[in-house]
Amino acid sequence: MAGHGGTVYAGCSVFDGAGESSLPDQAIWVREGTVEQVGDRDAVLAAAEPEGVEVVDLGGGHVMPGLINMHVHLGLALPGPMGDAVARGGDADLVLLMAGAARRALHAGVTTARLVGESRYADFALRRSLERGEVVGPRLFTAGHALCCTGGHGHDSDALEADGADGFRRATREQLRAGADLIKVCISGGIAGEHEGIDTPQLTDEEMAAVIGTAHDWGRQVTAHAGPSSVIARAVELGVDGIEHGYQLTEQVCALMAERGVRYVPTITVSRCREFLELHQVPDWMIDRALSAAPEHWASLQRAIAAGVTIVMGSDTPPDAALDGTTATVREMELMAEAGMTPAQVLRSATSGAAEWLGAADRVGTLAPGAAADFLVLDADPAADVAALRTLHTVVQGGEPVRDDRGLLAGRGRR
């Protein structure tokens, strides 16, 4: 049991989510689920010991904030058996499926997730259950249903169909009424739509403006599923806040995104996940479309990096999915580094940078006084090489251990 003053985790190096490198000989004082103090081991212990703390030695581990995955579908319903299972099940089946996915994501190190399209408003029920502590999973920020035109991208899974400016205003307000933290709108085709191309424009300027204006009036941001630069440029000019996927970005549209402060979630694994797609028996047409998108998708990410676009990590492929010997979340981060981002840039894209976009920079994505005590323990230094995340063995969320492969935390916490 922790003392009344909380717990000090010592014997570790720390990457705090905001810096360029990890600092050695650090300690983290956690009390009532939040970070009380982090810094030099001796200084933290000197401050904490009079409070009656428990001290846990992390055995030289490397600590960083819990990951924030900014493009997640806990009820993912791709064409094939995955989609069939969701369609056949009732609402209770869907919530339980999503709860299982949430637990696996948390164990994979994702302590906060942004949901960008779920069906039947099950995400709000799950979020309430998580907040009450009835189930375990990431802290959730959710868009509710994505929005699309009639027959548009996602209409047969997680998107709500609308047409015309008035129709999209109403659909936006319906998500806000349900409690949406943001709005997701599909403005072009994508990989998972059989009767569309990635470059198919799907919304008029009036429809996009209706979504963006309504959401902004309510203090919410809008992120857009989008493939081609021609469509993305129109959305950026209209004031969209973020772009998901961006399969076909030109240098010119990257420069425009950088100038306007539009964030980019590349989801680079979705065009490199043959292993996952084949495992889940998606149709051949979808596998072919995903893999054929890969060269231009990769070039788009590199153009965005070169242009100075703010890039935020999101996998789209389920956070815990097996991919190239690790999870999709870790593989996403490795690919971002391979494309040209520094390890620190990649880590911030999945911690403090993501938290800033969520408007939660004081609560998650950092190890600083007052923030939630969400952190991971690794065997290697992620600030030197993001592949160190493959050595993850301990996950703590809100000061409660939720994964403890080495028994460092003596079996405390939730499972």
Q: Where are the domains of the chain?
A: 7-66+365-404, 67-358
Which residue, 7, 16, 21, is CA-closest to 39? 16
Q: What is the pLDDT of residues 383-408, one digit of tens each?
A: 999 999 999 999 999 999 999 999 99
What is the identity of the amino acid at 346? V
Q: How far apart are CA 159 and CA 190, in angstroms?
A: 13
**Structure tokens of 31?**
């009390």
* pLDDT at 4 (0 to 100): 73
What is the identity of the amino acid at 361? A
Q: How close are the terminal C-alpha atoms of the chain, in Å?
A: 17
Q: How far, CA to CA in Å, does 102 sit from each of 20, 89, 284, 349?
A: 30, 18, 28, 21
Q: How far apart are CA 204 and CA 187, in angstroms?
A: 8
CA torsion 94-95-99-100 (nearest 10°) is -30
81: CB partners within 8 A, 6+ apart: 280, 281
* pLDDT at 410 (0 to 100): 72
* pLDDT at 414 (0 to 100): 45
| Chain Cα centroid distance, residue 264 | 12
* pLDDT at 3 (0 to 100): 53
Q: For residue 32, how many C-alpha atoms fall within 13 Å in the half-sphere facing its CB?
A: 5
Pairing of strands 394-397, 375-378: antiparallel
CATH topology agreement for domains 7-66+365-404 and 67-358? no
**Structure tokens of 110?**
């994702």
Name the packing angle between helices 122-131 and 91-107 (round to 10°): 50
* pLDDT at 412 (0 to 100): 57
**Structure tokens of 339?**
């494309």
**67-358 CATH:** 3.20.20.140
pLDDT along the chain (415 residues), means of 10: 78 97 98 97 95 94 98 96 93 97 98 98 98 97 98 96 98 98 98 95 98 98 98 98 98 98 98 96 97 98 98 98 98 98 98 98 97 98 98 97 92 48
**Structure tokens of 36?**
């009380």
- 7-66+365-404 homologous superfamily: Urease, subunit C, domain 1 (2.30.40.10)
User: Which helix H or strand E contains 339, and what residues bound it?
Assistant: none
